[in-house]
Structure formats: C-alpha cells, structure tokens
C-alpha cells in the first residue's frame, strides 16, 4: 500500500495515523522483525524503520542508546535493507518509511541508497538531520526513484 493511499484511507475513516518507530537491530535482528510484525498486527498504520547511525544528534537519549545497541550488535545499513526485504517476503503490507541520518546515503551514494530502499519495499525516506533548504534539490530525485520524502519542520520553520 502506498503512503498516499494509506493516508486517504485514514482520512475517509476520520482516523489519525499510528506511525511506529523501530531502530532495526535493537537489540537484534530477529527481535526487530518480530516487533515490527507485532506492531503491524496490532494497529500500526506505518512503520518508521530506523537505520541506526553512530551519532544520532537529532534523537533523544532512548533512541541514541537504541542505535548504539544495534551498532554494537553488528547491524549495518545493508542488513537493515535486507530486513525490509524479509518483512515484505513474509507478508508485511503496511507502508515503511526509512529513517536515517544523511551521512549513510551520502557515503553509500544517494541514488544507490534510494534505489536499494525502494527495491527492498519501502515507500518513503526521512532524514532528521537534513535541513529543509538542502532537501529541495533532492526532492525530485527521490520522487523519480519512486519514494516519498518526509520532511520534519518545527513550529518556528518559515514557510
């Protein structure tokens, strides 16, 4: 299901979206897979699938510790992308938005990262450390690849 159709369905039913965030690999891959499936089976509308990063400055202490546990356990971006593939192969149908810090796709190659994420079965990407102004030139490439760019703004962000 696409993000657009998910939100249209929720709007028709006059419901808000329950978007559950999981840093994949915390504490290990098998637990993460079971957790994501359980969240979907119990009402999550969208999974925010976090790819752990070593310096998650936009996150609070709980998410920072989750990243460290996952990385200490050997999780990598490639294993995370494989995790999305496994979830899709096992029948997970709700939308997945991949959240990670911009350094990961930058080092991997931005278009390569986007294609890998899309081919794995994700519908969107969110980069918490990407300023709105710097996201504008990337928006067209993200759309061309077939993903949605999710932006975060603060109440103080200018239009």
CA distance 55 to 101: 9
Per-residue CA distances from 107 to 92, 96, 103, 139 (Å): 29, 22, 6, 18
Give the E-state strand segments of the chain in sequence order: 19-23, 46-50, 96-99, 124-126, 148-150
Q: Which of 26, 41, 48, 134 is catalytic?
A: 48
Annotation says 65 is catalytic: no
Structural Rg of the chain based on CA atoms: 15
Per-residue CA distances from 125 to 41, 51, 130 (Å): 23, 11, 11
8 Å CB contact between 79 and 29: yes
Annotation says 129 is catalytic: no
Residue 128 burial (C-beta neighbours within 10 Å; 0-12, 13-18, 19+) = middle
Q: Which of 29, 55, 59, 65 is catalytic?
A: 59
Residues annotated as part of the active site? 48, 59
């Amino acid at each position: 299901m696409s993000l657009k159709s998910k939100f249209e369905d929720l709007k028709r039913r006059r419901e808000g979206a329950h978007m559950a965030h999981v840093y994949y690999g915390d504490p290990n891959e098998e637990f993460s897979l079971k957790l994501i499936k359980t969240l979907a089976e119990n009402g999550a509308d969208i999974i925010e699938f976090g790819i752990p990063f070593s310096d998650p400055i936009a996150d609070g202490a709980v998410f920072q510790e989750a990243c460290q546990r996952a990385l200490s356990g050997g999780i990598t971006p490639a294993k995370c992308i494989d995790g999305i593939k496994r979830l899709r192969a096992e029948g997970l149908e709700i939308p997945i938005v991949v959240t990670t810090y911009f350094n990961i796709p930058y080092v991997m190659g931005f278009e390569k990262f986007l294609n890998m994420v899309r081919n794995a079965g994700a519908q969107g990407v969110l980069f918490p450390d990407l300023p709105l102004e710097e996201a504008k030139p990337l928006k067209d490439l993200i759309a061309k690849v077939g993903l949605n760019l999710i932006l975060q703004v603060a109440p103080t962000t200018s239009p």
